[in-house]
Amino acid sequence: MKKLFVVSAIALAVITGCAQQSPVQLESSAQKQQAAAIVVSPNDQRAYKTLTLPNQLEVILVSDPTTEKSAVSLSVGAGMLQDPMTQQGLAHYLEHMLFMGTERYPDPAEYAAFFSQHNGAYNAYTWLDITNYMFEINNHVYDEALDRFSDFFKSPKFYPEYSDKERNAVNAEHSMRREQDFLAQFELMRRMFGDHPSNRFLAGSLESLSDKPGSILHEEMLAFYDRYYSANNMKLAMISNRSLAEMELLARQHFSGIENKDIALPTVTAELDNSLFGGKRIHYVPNQDVKQLRLDFTIRDNSDQYAVKPNEFIAYLLRSEMPGTAAAQLIASGLVSSFNVSVNPDLYGNYGNLSIDMNLTDAGMQQREAITAMVMQYLDLIKQQGVDEQYYQEIKTSLANQFQFLEKTDGFGYASNLTASMLKRPVQHAIAAPFIYERFDAEAIEQVLAQLTPDNLRVWYISQQEPHDSELVRHVGKYKIVDIPAEEMAAWQQPQLALNLPQVNRLLPESFAIKARAEQQKPELVVEHNGIAAWLYPSQVFSDQPRGRLDIVLNSPAAQNDINARVAFALWRDLYNLEQSALRTEARVAGIGVWLSDGNGLTLNLDGFTDKQPLLLEQLLAGLTPTITETGFSQAVDRYVRGLANQSRQVPFRQAFWAFNSLYRGGNYNPEQLIAAAQAMTPDDLTAFIAGTLAANQVRVFAFGNYDQQDVQTLVSKLDAALPANRTTTPYAQSPFWKPAAGETLVLNRDIHVTDVALIDMHVHPEQGMAVRAAASVLASHFSNQAFDTLRTEEQLAYAVGGTAIDLNDYTGFGLYIQTPVKGPADMQQRFEDFKHQYWQRLQQVTPEQFAALQQSLLISLKEPPKNLQEEMRPLVSDWYRERFDFDSRERLIAAVEQVTLADVQAFYQQTLLNPEAARMSVQMRGTAFSEQPFATLPNQQLVTDLAEFQRRMATQ
């Protein structure tokens, strides 16, 4: 289960057709799509074709002449729901084994090596009713890659000798996630379903995947493959720069040979007994310190009603934070800090859920029954008055706007999503289904509302203070299940507060006008006024998009030198986002994302349709100083403290990278120091800090997309009016980078509250500059692939493992990372040391031809045109934040990569991982299963126990 997506595999009829996209008006585009049978966005200029191969494999072809990489995905309409009870996790295990060689390519390592050589990426995931395989690779080797990929589904080797290795890989993957609360709660959700097929162990482990009396693992796997891996139970999507005719030839050549066993498509028909779960309260003790309330309704799968969207209609009303709604009142009363609604209609196969999730304050923890009653009262209001066509029109408009200007994404994910969608919907709607809203269907809405009753409801009380009498088997979690008293459910019918249905959204765009713009080579400083500087860069690639992104930075040097300032910015951000929650929700529906983040000051981002951004910005700036009460402040501190404490319960390799990033950048502090500072702060302290920061700062703006100079000038005027008149301009502050010195070794060790060990071992090249960065960039994919193949595939030491190159400002780091359930820190570090020397032997065997392929593959990626606005903006805004106002970092890297040689790369490796004098950083996260095993000790190590103290005296670049 390399990726975790909630998807289902309901096979539907597919209509064959062809669509050639070109710049057209919306009306003519719709006519073309109708004739072609596949509905695509008017913004999509790619050509499409659908076909069914003679073996009944259904295919979507996407021809994109601008893409530098080709992609493919093949989905099988079978997954964990089809696992035999004697071999739970079998579908997932089979997914792993399929990569272990085929008749035409018998070497299990060959597939990974081929993709590494040609800058490719591949992956797969298994879920309840789907197994999805995909890859992306440079165009010129697409044919060769398809030959390898398609052989998985024609003649896999399934070497028995690789069984234990892949069982260990599956087990390591499960170990990496067994403490994640979402998966633990999902296990408990399904355990309450009795004999329903969804109630089984999904991922698999060494125990579940093993020979048993009457059930031999290898034989069961072969039987599963033979039973379900049939062409008529598969969907295929291909994306390339080739023509549709060429792609059709490739599809027929490589995939027509997959056997059609004409199987009956897998379905789940088992009925649920709602007496097993309905009307229950679940007291759940999570691994993370959270305070949550969830109303979890089980509903029948209605995925086939995607075109009339009853689930989306109900969720839209439930999650609204317009004045008078349940969410608005609960947040305003200080009982709830976030209110989210999600619907997964096929989460359990033929059943799904509608879930209302609330994060609670301490006050809310004391009022959980009252909160539940209010939400149920609001739900009754929706049933009585909310099935109103005005909301249909609003949702339809929002979805239509999104679809009209739908942007391209990476081919890797796009192909994967296409085949997953094809298993659920007719192919003509494989792309458009999330956005289609054909008509207002009151009956469909009422059918779902009729299921949102206490008989189908589980109420979850989630906190570390919950009573418990049971523990989960596969994941870490404690719980207790009780009946909800009848008198409590009866009280839900009693009025709590006056509630209102949502008002009309004010921020939906009314104009998609495109601002006039001239060609521009780089962002330009267009306004400087009263300590505010603004840069403008209209999109040069997507000039027909009525979207834009604003980065508004209120920069302050305070957080670099003062832990109280660091904490105050975080609390300010929290209180502001909470106070603006209703406005942000309204903006999101209208197609504008809004978020405030903290760092060296605050950064306000607006991203989306530009028509109503000025109106939105006025309201956002008016609330820049949030209301601070004793209760609200206390709640913000509580959220902040718990968030810091919960970091030690995250996946270990993520913890390791967080710690690593905090080590080499200035302005960081130990979590326990931040917690102490937050607990000592008062509301008056924060109030004074906000006033002082607004009076002394430097403001910078980066405007990218559908803006002109007048827009930016108006924006700057609004900012100036929102800030104090006598404001002082401070120097622009960036977090400084550690300056590495020969022989310097920094080590950061931590004990964490999860099981596994995670290590990062990073060596820093002694020289600065792009030539070094280029050598590292060329080498990175080859090095990482070898590390994965050796440490994961061959030795089964981990699931998450690889090599990476790190940008340390003017310097470059290069090294290894791993999360392992097998070895302690010292033992794992020793294996790293041995691998570094093993890899040197392999690097010396790389031929000039192999190196040229690696170099060319990287250049293809670096030179690839952006697929969307975010990709166009990313390198520019990155330079902007670092004050690299030539905006040419990417171009300089490309030029350096073009000049790098094999000898340069070999010398780079010697000067980093084989150089005892190279500066070095080591981060070691020791999990609970290895608490008695030692941390690794490195030569000349400097143990960093206090980040702030170290960074006060560290040399900086």
pLDDT (tens digit, 9 = 90+) per residue, 271-299? Answer: 999 999 999 999 999 999 999 999 999 99
Say whether pLDDT at 24 is over 60: no
Per-residue confidence (pLDDT) for residue 77, from 0 to 100: 98
3-class state of residue 35 by DSSP: helix
Is the per-residue pLDDT at 27 higher than 90? Answer: no
Look at residue 32 in the predicted model and tell me its pLDDT: 35
pLDDT digits (tens, 9 = 90+) for 243-281: 999 999 999 999 999 999 999 999 999 999 999 999 999
Predicted pLDDT of residue 460: 98
The span from the CA of 503 to the CA of 391, in Å, is 9
Beta carbons within 8 Å of 189's beta carbon, 6+ residues apart: 296, 348, 353, 458
Nearest to 547 by CA among 718, 717, 406, 398: 406
Mean pLDDT for the stretch of residues 808-823: 96
Q: Single out the residue of 272, 412, 238 nearest to residue 350, CA to CA.
A: 272
> Positive or negative, the Cα torsion across 500, 501, 504, 507?
positive
Give residue 497's pLDDT. Answer: 84
Q: What is the per-residue burial (b if ≥16 Cβ within 10 Å, else e) of 183-210?
A: bbbbbbbbbbbeebbbbbbbbbbeebbb
For residue 74, count CB atoms less than 10 angstroms from its CB and return exposed for 0-12, middle for 13-18, buried for 19 or more: buried
- For position 36, what pLDDT does the model report? 46
Check residue 930 and give its pLDDT: 97
What is residue 612's DSSP assignment?
T
pLDDT at 448 over 60: yes
E strand spans, 361-477: 457-462, 470-471
Structure tokens given for 45: 């200029």
Are 59 and 255 within 8 A, CB to CB? yes
Residue 67 has what pLDDT?
95
Residue 793 pLDDT: 86
Of 739, 758, 802, nearest to 658 (Cα)? 758
Residue 518's pLDDT is what? 79
Which of 169 and 77 is assigned the larger pLDDT?
A: 77
Instruction: Compute the average pLDDT of residues 150-162.
Output: 96
Sequence-distant (6+) residues with CB within 8 A of 473 are: 187
pLDDT of residue 428: 95
Q: What are phi and psi of 283, to 5 degrees?
A: -90, 115
Nearest by Cα to 680 from 640, 708, 648: 640
The reported pLDDT for the residue numbered 117 is 87
| pLDDT at residue number 5 | 27
pLDDT at 493: 86
**Strand, coil or helix: what is 63?**
strand
Mean pLDDT of the residues in the chain: 93
**Cα 605 versus chain centre, distance:** 19
Percent of the chain whose predicted confidence (pLDDT) is above 90: 92
Distance of alpha carbon 788 from alpha carbon 798, whole angstroms: 9
pLDDT per residue over 328-356, tens digit each? Answer: 999 999 999 999 999 999 999 999 999 99
Q: How far is CA 847 from CA 141, 253, 788, 903, in A?
A: 19, 32, 21, 11
Q: How many other C-beta atoms lie within 10 A of the C-beta of residue 592?
A: 24
The C-alpha atoms of residue 906 and residue 841 are separated, in whole angstroms, by 11
522 φ, ψ (degrees, to nearest 5): -160, 165
Average pLDDT over residues 202-221: 96
The phi, psi pair for 900, rounded to 5°, reads -70, 145
Determine the Cα angle at 299 with ends 298 and 300, to 5°.
135
Helix 902-911 and helix 770-787: axis angle, to 10°?
80
CA distance 620 to 554: 14
Q: What is the pLDDT of residue 329?
A: 96
Which H/E stretch holds residue 29?
Answer: helix 26-36
Confidence at residue 1, expressed as pLDDT on a 0 to 100 scale = 36
Query: Among 741, 742, 795, 756, which Cα is nearest to 924's?
Result: 756
In the chain, pLDDT over 70 holds for what percent of residues? 96
Helix (H, G, I), strand (E, B) or coil at 351: strand
pLDDT of 694 higher than 90:
yes
Q: What is the pLDDT of residues 623-665, one digit of tens each?
A: 999 999 999 999 999 999 999 999 988 999 999 999 999 999 9
DSSP 183: H
Q: What is the pLDDT of residue 561?
A: 86
Least confident range from 99-103, 201-205, 516-520, 903-907: namely 516-520
Q: Is the dihedral of CA 922, 928, 930, 932 positive or negative?
A: positive
For tokens 């440490």, what's the residue? Answer: 791
Give the bridge partners for 49, in sequence order. Answer: 18, 61
Written as six digits, the tokens of 295 are: 């109303």
Say what the pLDDT of residue 687 is. 98
Is-contact 713 878, C-beta < 8 A?
no
Checking if the pLDDT of 424 tops 90, the result is: yes
- What is the distance between the alpha carbons of residues 805 and 788, in angstroms, rounded to a whole number? 15
Contact yes or no for 771/896 (Cβ under 8 A): yes
Tell me if the pTM is above 0.75: yes
Half-sphere exposure for 139 (CA within 13 Å, toward CB): 18
Region of 338 (left: φ > 0; alpha: ψ -120 to 50; beta: rest) is: beta
d(CA 375, CA 327): 8
487-511 per-position pLDDT tens digit: 999 999 887 789 999 998 999 999 9
Q: Assess contact for 39 and 431: CB atoms under 8 A.
A: yes
Residue 44 has a pLDDT of 95
Q: State the angle between helix axes of 869-881 and 889-899 in degrees (0 to 180), rounded to the nearest 10.
A: 100
Amino acid at site 282: I
Q: d(Cα 781, Cα 138) in Å, to the nearest integer?
A: 14
The 10s digit of each residue's pLDDT in 830-861 is 999 999 999 999 999 999 999 999 999 999 99
- For residue range 704-718, list pLDDT tens digits in order: 999 999 999 999 999
| Domains and their CATH numbers in the chain | 274-398+437-491 (3.30.830.10), 524-654+667-729 (3.30.830.10), 745-953 (3.30.830.10)
* Alpha carbon distance 608, 59 (integer Å): 33
Nearest to 2 by CA among 110, 135, 103: 135
d(CA 565, CA 690): 10
What tokens were used for 879?
A: 């330079």
**How far, in Å, are 40, 461, 644, 649, 681 from residue 290 at the CA level?**
42, 10, 12, 12, 22
